[in-house]
Structure 1
């Protein structure tokens, strides 16, 4: 295990793949850690894959995770420590963080991949309701409802569901709440509309957290962005349908990473 020390604590990071290979920085969704991308890893053998647990998730400390700007600063620190630039691959809140990094530090970003993400995710009222539920009962209290939004019915009927439910339910409430507060306050629409870099946007037809029309609307903001819909996938296609996601992702990376 590796730690990157930040002013307020440690980030758990992992780097796989050869030095000198095109670098990817994978940015996780809310309530998951760097294992989110395990299913894609066999498809990424030709790349240097950098992953980390965002603040308050996995093995990383929590000190200032209540703004997207703070999470973006962590991502920049990881890129600089790894010797960037990189292609950013972000899922859900990870995609929102990626949009901020691409807008504010374009010198560090070769290309952008947004999976099941948008320039604005939800609204303040919905996130505040989520925060209240977690404050009252921890992440366990919301786990079943989140699984409904994350995964299509066939995956929810599989034994693997228990592992992802456990990952969410074992995420500490302070880190989860901090990230919810960041989401409640974030709207990147204007900055994302100004992006001018190769961009791939992926949605899942069964996504209950970031519906396809919302994801497509963000793709429409970015000049020249590619949009792909994975039929039958929910909010985490890298978990549910990694081969289908890789079939979309790898050609884009070969052209732009």
Structure 2
């Protein structure tokens, strides 16, 4: 399929071979670098991988009109320009909220989707949970506190108790570097994304979709993700044990085989 020549957000092509590309979309706290271990595992399984810095993150400039639709359109342009015969969109947390909207823009190019640890849409949380979500991510740090240290406290609270390992350390290292302005813009986008649009996008997902929650995730918790999974006609749902908000990093022994089995059934590496 011919690729369009369009401006792209900065991204990393870590393996430019094979007929199936997996696109990795990070969350509110993050950047393309925290996907390195999962990228390695996917490449070893024969997949081509592209991890991006979403608009406003890492090396990508934040647009003045930052919204989920703007970010989804940037992702769609990326797939139109770099996609292979088969493409998979893997969205984590905020990236998982954006994934259905992105897939809807390039439905003819996407073979499957993976969504981890997402709230799905803001109204999928209680008013108390919504208030806590916003407060912890937008409260200014105490005077004299390094913003990175303040962000690390939020990030640490999203892991399961006792989460350790190189993958977890990398998530902490990368996520704490997220520009606070980008975090606040993303939180506003979460709040502003209309429930009917979010629900409609999940219901319109026509590709096989794997949704994975961490058993101890307080953000994209299993109950909320089950409600989201029920909206997608071709969904599969799983809970990874001993995991919080980053199941692909916290329990790789359980998550990686789950992911690879789904991909082999619906988007084989070839």
Normalized against structure 2, the TM-score is what?
0.82
Partner of 2:233: 223
Residue 174 in 1 paired to residue 181 in 2? Answer: yes
Partner of 1:197: 207
3-state DSSP of counterpart to 1:107: coil
Between stretches 119-128 and 209-218, larger displacement belongs to 119-128
3-state DSSP of counterpart to 2:139: helix
Say if 1:65 and 1:178, in contact at 8 Å, map to a contact too: no
Deviation string 1:122-154 (CA, Å, 9 cap, x unpaired) is 5764454345414877454343133112x1112
Partner of 1:143: 152
Say if 1:55 and 1:65, in contact at 8 Å, map to a contact too: no
Say what the alpha-carbon RMSD is for the aligned residues.
Answer: 2.5
Offset of 1:163 from its aligned partner? Answer: 4.8
3-state DSSP of counterpart to 1:239: helix
Partner of 2:21: 23
Partner of 1:252: 262
Counterpart mapping for 1:1-257 below 5 A: 6=7, 11-45=9-43, 46-64=46-64, 66-84=66-84, 86-121=87-122, 122=125, 125-126=131-132, 128-130=134-136, 132-134=138-140, 138=147, 140-149=149-158, 151-155=159-163, 163-186=170-193, 187=195, 188-257=198-267
Gaps of 5+ in 2: none
Between stretches 116-125 and 100-109, larger displacement belongs to 116-125
Aligned pair count reads 249
Say if 2:24 and 2:51, in contact at 8 Å, map to a contact too: yes
Q: How has the CA–CA distance of structure 1 residues 189 and 166 changed in structure 2, closer, same or farther, with 3 Å as cutoff?
A: same
CA distance in 1: counterparts of 2:6 and 2:157, whole angstroms: 36
Query: Which one has a larger percent strand, Structure 1 or Structure 2?
Result: 1
Gaps of 5+ in 1: none
